[in-house]
Amino acid sequence: MIRPLVLLVLMALVAAASTALATESAAGRKDPARAITSQLICPCSCGEILSGCTCETGKSMQGFVTDELKKGKGKEEITTALVAKYGEVIRGAPKAEGFNLLVWVLPFVATAIGFVIAALVLKRWVGRRNPALAGAGDAPMTTADQDDLRARAEAELRGLRE
Amino acid sequence: MSEIGKLALFLAFLCSCYAVGAFVVGLRSGMAGPLRSGRRAVWAVCGLTLLATILLVRALVARDFTYRYVAEHTSLDLPTMYAFSSLWAGQEGSLLLWLLILSAYGAAFLWCYRKRLDPFYDAVAMVVACVMIFFTSLLSFVSSPFRILATPPPDGNGLNPLLQDPGMMIHPPILYTGYVGFIIPFAFGIAVLVMNRTGTRWIEEVRRWTLFNWMFLGFGILLGARWAYIELGWGGYWGWDPVENASLMPWLVGTAFLHSVMIEQRRGMLKTWNIVLIVLTFELSIFGTFLTRSGVLTSVHSFAESDIGPWFMGFILVSGTIATALILYRKALLESENRMDAVVSREGSFLFNNVLFVALCFATFLGTTFPVLSEAVTGSKISVSAPFFNRVNVPIALVLLMLTGIGPVLSWKRATGAFVKRNFLIPAFVGVLATLVCVPFGLRGVYPIVCVFGAAFVVATVVMEFARGVQARKDVEAPANPAALLHLVQKNKRRYGGYIVHLGVVMIFVGVLGSSVFQKEAHAPLQPGQSMAIGPYALTLDRVEDMQIQNATQTRAHVQVSRNGKRLADMNPSKAMYTKAQQPMTEVALHSTAAEDLYLILGGVNEDGSASIQAYINPLVMFVWAGGVVMVIGTLICMADRMRLKREEKLLA
């Protein structure tokens, strides 16, 4: 039971990772200007996502994107021009290449490792013998018993004090 | 007065040190005297911090510019209520607020357990006192709010205009109550390790404290989102800003703990994991403060940057190392008592839910800190912002949404195939139906479809659980339905409170989905009398006027709004130029209904006299705020379970 479940989850994670690298925002599908501006950050100190930025720099960049689209330029071309002018720092998400690929891959790899560990732990626990059956005569006092005794002792102490 | 403030903080530092010393002596010797003395010292820290806070607030409200802090964060024209809230506008003041809440938690803890003679509770108080030493020493020797200026200025610099919002009166204290409160679960965890304590009683107590802090942190996060929505004027409420992320991370790990703690309570399992989660939650809350204060990352929420970052980093390293060493040292104490019967069980689903919560936290942590890491390695600056988090965190969050529906319905120990089929067939059908209904309304893309399916699935499972419970009660007591529902919740507050929290979570997911996927946007320069359309709304600019408010000049647009030809409202988006800050601030105009928000921004007044109006329709945003309220109600119901426990304790006595 556990192996197919883990495989299913791992496949879902691979799909999610590849979708993450390819997905375009829902708003972007409807509006090509927004498809570009929602992926960029205003280079001034406001630090807002360009599509929602109302500062002067932001508005001028939004205007630039609209003008370039009207000229028939594509998303990649416009983004490259803006990045060339302001630097990689204006990309809202780093390009998935070189060292920066790590930030895209690690969350999914970590989740997958987490699932594998959880599955292994579960497998071990399910296969473990019930200690109550192993040596009922020597069974140590359970934590519930200890808690009950502690509560009784405290209540009695309270009674003595009052 | 400043000398009294400084003295109060220094005495608080001494009392914290004394408390730790007294607790150590008392715990080692078993004598009651030092323990009693240690407890009194914790109370004294609380009193002294309160005194210092009152003195600083008095100086802020009186605009006593001899204090450097007052001169930096207030001005004569600042409204009094904002002079009060400038207590947390700067670094020193917010550290003082931290200490005040921390010492109040220490005092509240001692009050709650005043009748318990078990020295374990003294060990918990000792850990709290250790943390107090850190904050009192920071406030006494590194970052005092009572520093005096040699030549006081005639007027102060004023408060950051972004903080001049009624939401800022309550958002930071509520957020801090959540953040700081994680000290108590942390202290319990450390005390368990130090005292070599077994048993599950402490874990029930930790669960209640964590619920309380978790509720405040969650509500504080939502208040911050609401503040960003109204005050920042970009049409949204969550931008995956570093400071937002910093508050989300402890909340996520705290949520994981609240789930896994149930396994420990019922089955005596996951003991090590639960302690790790407790420690991680606390360390992340300190890390959040470090991010806000250090200036390592730029943030729209960061108003008080300074050089105390290394102190916080050092504290995280020291406390993290001690906690890790203790966990390793007490490994035997944390051995699992039980075994599992089947993978498909509530325990199994909770384990996977924990993996996802921690993975979500890790993704958020990595994304938040990666710009620093990347710059150190590659030498070039990059940004990791909303476009990254929306792609990486959303799929993980959607799987969690599905588990929100699956987990609680699975039975403990073992869920058979027939059981799973009986419980999930109808919810799955409801999910598919909801998705099919939404597709004609423009639902496109994998994530939105999964979100709608998941939301409907969870709601259906919760409704079925309530329906089954009500039916069972009717079979026994035969009361009317509303009474049966009430009795049902009263009888098992923890379980049904949890379901209500899950409904709140679904509402937030629906709100986020609606306001992101179905958001509409339009902008146009309008001359007086001109109109623009967005969705069913027509916006007509009536006039633009300049007006003076208390400490700012406001340019206000009067926009007449009609919906489907019917006059709806007059809205006034504006720009305010604050006298002191001399930077234009956007004041959003909002018309909210349960279905959607009409959100107007005045971009500016152009040279030709036209006003740039930016309009958004944000559907279902109200669900986000209402979801938060529902979560709070659900959490309060869960916490009310304490009454039952008290009754049980009395019966036992």
CA distances (Å), origin B247, targets B144, B169, B359, B369: 25, 18, 16, 14
What would the pLDDT profile of B61-96 be if each residue is shown by its tens digit?
A: 999 999 999 999 898 888 888 888 899 888 889 899
The size of chain A, in residues, is 162
pLDDT above 70 for A157 = no
Residue A156 maps to a domain: no
- Of A112, A119, A117, A10, the C-alpha closest to B343 is A119
Which of B352, B362, B604 faces A110 most closely, judged by CB atoms? B362
B-chain residues within 8 Å CB-CB of A47?
241, 298-300
Residue A82 maps to a domain: yes
Residue A25 maps to a domain: yes
Average pLDDT over residues A41-64: 82
Q: Which domain holds residue A92?
A: 2-122
Q: Quick one: pLDDT at residue B134? A: 94
Does residue B580 or residue A121 have the better pLDDT?
Answer: A121
d(Cα B282, Cα B130) in Å, to the nearest integer?
Answer: 14
Which of A39, A94, A150 faces B201 most closely, judged by CB atoms? A150
Chain A: nearest CA to B438, how far in angstroms?
15
Cross-chain residue pair B199–A150, CB shorter than 8 Å: yes
Asked if residues B103 and B45 have their Cβ atoms less than 8 Å apart, the reply is yes
Residue A160 maps to a domain: no
Which of B354, B382, B521 faces A88 most closely, judged by CB atoms? B382
pLDDT bracket for residue A137 (50, 70, 90): very low
d(Cα B637, Cα A115) in Å, to the nearest integer?
Answer: 32
Average pLDDT, chain B: 88
Q: Identity (one letter) of the amino acid at B360?
A: L
Asked if residues B594 and B478 have their Cβ atoms less than 8 Å apart, the reply is no
Spans of chain B, pLDDT less than 50: none
Percent of chain A with pLDDT over 70: 59
A-chain residues within 8 Å CB-CB of B359?
107, 110-111, 114
d(Cα B130, Cα B107) in Å, to the nearest integer?
Answer: 14
Which of A107, A108, A158 faces B115 most closely, judged by CB atoms? A158
Residue A45 maps to a domain: yes
Which site among B351, B368, B375 would you substitute to test the A interface, given the most A Cβ atoms closer than 10 Å to its Cβ? B351
Residue A136 maps to a domain: no
Asked if residues B45 and B131 have their Cβ atoms less than 8 Å apart, the reply is no
Average pLDDT, chain A: 75
B-chain residues within 8 Å CB-CB of A41?
383, 385
CA distances (Å), origin B473, targets A16, B25, B462, B484, B634: 43, 54, 17, 6, 21
A-chain residues within 8 Å CB-CB of B378?
98-100
Asked if residues B141 and B62 have their Cβ atoms less than 8 Å apart, the reply is no
Q: Work out how many domains chain A is built from and give that number.
A: 1
Asked if residues A13 and A49 have their Cβ atoms less than 8 Å apart, the reply is no
DSSP characters over B293-347: HH-SS--TT-----S-HHHHHHHHHHHHHHHHHHHHHTGGGG------S-SSSHH
Q: Quick one: pLDDT at residue A151? A: 64
Where does residue A85 rank: exposed (0-12), middle (13-18), buried (19+ CB within 10 A)? exposed
Joined tokens for residue B306: 């300074």
What would the pLDDT profile of B469-495 be if each residue is shown by its tens digit?
A: 888 777 776 666 777 788 888 888 888
Residue A7 maps to a domain: yes
d(Cα B140, Cα B282) in Å, to the nearest integer?
Answer: 23
Q: Quick one: pLDDT at residue A139? A: 44
Q: Quick one: pLDDT at residue B388? A: 94
Cross-chain residue pair B234–A52, CB shorter than 8 Å: yes
CB pairs under 8 A between A and B: 192
d(Cα B126, Cα B18) in Å, to the nearest integer?
Answer: 10
Joined tokens for residue B530: 């001109």
- Can you give the pTM of this predicted structure? 0.88
pLDDT above 70 for A20 = no
Secondary structure (H, E, C), A3-57: HHHHHHHHHHHHHHHHHHHHCCCHHHHHCHHHHHHCCEECCCCCCCEHHHCCCHH
Average pLDDT over residues A28-55: 80
